[in-house]
Amino acid sequence: MGDGESEELRLHLVVLILLVVVVLGGVTDLLLDAPDRALSAHVVLEVLLVAVSAGGAIFLAQGWYRARRSLGSLRADAAAQQARRQAWHAGARKALEGLALEVDRQFADWGLTPAEREVALMLLKGFSLAQIARLGERSERTVRQHAIAVYRKAGLAGRAELAGFFLGDLLLPAPRAPAPPTP
């Protein structure tokens, strides 16, 4: 439990204790007064204050309980979502490592220089020439020349064909048949 949560719990307990003290004080005062009439203004007012305080204490306690249960459920959902996300990233990372090796092998087969390889990879990732220039601390003209050299050495017409060369065969798997209903 974090510091904020324990502070909030202490605040809730203090408010709840104060309301319980008001209820007990009102009941004690009513008993000690020993009024002559049960329906006097004093008795009605004290009974009303005790009832409102007791109702408030019950209402707050129920609300806090539901909120804490809901928070626990949300935390469990968030943890499960995080686990699914990490599993997806691990699987994707594994698949991408294989793709990265093949991309690198193809760049070598084309005879790309290290600078051309870097530009080609950033083009595949979708960066613009200006972004590549800024990230590589080069002029945009130099980056454009590297891109032209990549296309020439690969025998491709441009960025779309470069992406198509590596990703053209990438297809999503066929949809799985729905599982039969369980009885």
Segments of the chain scoring below 70 in pLDDT = 1-2, 4, 171-172, 183
Position 68 in a domain = yes
pTM of the model: 0.51
Position 37 in a domain = yes
68 with 139, same domain: the answer is no
pLDDT of residue 57: 78
Closest CA to 159 of 113, 123, 109: 123
163 with 93, same domain: the answer is yes
Position 142 in a domain = yes
Which residue carries 């599982």 as its tokens?
179
68 with 124, same domain: the answer is no
Do the Cβ atoms of 138 and 129 come closer than 8 Å? no
Q: List C-alpha distances in Å: 89 to 59, 77, 86, 92, 98.
A: 44, 18, 5, 5, 14
Q: Which residues of 12-46 are buried (b: 16+ CB within 10 A; e: fewer)?
A: beeebeebeebbeebeeebeeeeeeeeeeeeeeeb
Question: DSSP labels for 10-27?
Answer: HHHHHHHHHHHHHHHHHH
**Number of structural domains in the chain:** 2
33 with 98, same domain: the answer is no
User: Within 13 Å and on the Cβ side, how many CA atoms surround 108?
Assistant: 6
Cα–Cα distance for residue pair 30/132, rounded to 1 Å: 81
What are the residues whose beta carbons fall under 8 Å from the beta carbon of 131, sequence distance 6 or more? 122
Position 83 in a domain = no
Do the Cβ atoms of 35 and 47 come closer than 8 Å? no
101 with 51, same domain: the answer is no
Position 22 in a domain = yes
Position 115 in a domain = yes
Evaluated on CA atoms 61, 67, 68, 73, the torsion sign reads: positive
pLDDT of residue 143: 96
User: Which amino acid is it at 21?
Assistant: V
pLDDT above 90 covers what percent of the chain?
A: 42
Supply the CATH number for residue 157's domain: 3.40.50.2300
pLDDT of residue 48: 85
The boundaries of the domain holding residue 18 are 3-75
Position 178 in a domain = no
49 with 118, same domain: the answer is no
Evaluated on CA atoms 42, 44, 49, 50, the torsion sign reads: positive
Position 103 in a domain = yes
41 with 101, same domain: the answer is no
